[in-house]
Amino acid sequence: MERKIIVQALKRSFSTQSANFNHCDYAIGFDPIVFGDRYLRCPLYTIYDEYQQICEPRAALTRQDLDARDGFCGYVVSASTHSAPHRGDAFAAFDAARGVASGGKHLRNTDALQQLEKTLPGAQAKAQFLGRYRFSMAYENASHPGYCTEKIVQSFAARTIPIYWGDPLVTEDFNPAAFVNANELASLDALVAEVLRIEDDPDVCLKMLNAPVFQPGRSGVHLAELEAFLARLVTTPASDLRRRALHGSGARIDARAARAARSFWRR
């Protein structure tokens, strides 16, 4: 029972909030910090099926595959409340340049995704929708080191070229030759010009689509690290896992946590 509670607690504690190591012995998060054996960086995209998909070998796309694409760029976003203005500004610029197909609730201008969702699960419908285009916009809600969500992996899984903005550390895992990194372009005009340069050169476009998704040695690394981290927590004797103070504030925090846990498990 004790091991089960540990695993359940870890599962429930995975969130976008920073860990408070006065309240926990171990934490899993996306922030790129080092805290001995107590912390594991696990990007948010790791928990999505598309991450596992792009870790597998992929067949090369051909010029015929490229020519069969319906259009320039796809975009799927449910909402933009509280998000940085970069996404909306970029959408407007790319849409004015070549036209962007928006299938999500935000700025929707086509019902193609909705039609796909009538017969396919949401993730498959999104992949098929994005896969109709050579590019896809993969913009985060905000830019923060380590904050890299499902957006880029879903774009890669759909076999498009992601136009990515967000995590400034994104190239630590992902191959910069496989996507357009908006973080590194000096202006929106420069970004649009770079994307259109690639769009107008089929050989460059195809080369990017077939480039390795990950930097050397980074494919699947986060899943392996997560498995090892959790395995250590469930196989090490509980008495050896303690990392916080045994007395003083640590004891008070433990008492409050124990009361909260008992209340939770009685629900």
Angle between helices 221-235 and 2-13 (to 10 degrees): 150
The secondary structure of residue 37, as a DSSP letter, is: B
The answer on 245 and 199 residing in a single domain is no
Are residues 70 and 147 part of one domain?
yes
Final residue belonging to a domain, choices 210, 229, 252: 210
When divided into structural domains, the chain yields a total of: 2
Residue ending a domain, among 193, 210, 227, is: 210
pLDDT in tens, 252-261: 776 777 777 6
The last residue of one of the domains, among 195, 210, 225, is 210
The CATH number for 109's domain is 3.40.50.11660
Looking at every residue in the chain, the average pLDDT score rounds to 89
| Domain match, 94 and 205 both | yes
Report whether pLDDT(3) > 50: no
Q: What is the C-alpha separation between 138 and 74, in angstroms, rounded?
A: 9
Contact 199, 72 (CB under 8 A): yes
In a domain, 50, yes or no: no
Cα three-residue angle 145-127-41, rounded to 5 degrees: 25
Evaluate whether 233 touches 241 at the Cβ level (below 8 Å).
yes
Domain range for 114 is 56-210
Q: Is residue 191 part of a domain?
A: yes
pLDDT digits (tens, 9 = 90+) for 199-243: 999 999 999 999 999 999 999 999 999 999 999 999 999 888 888
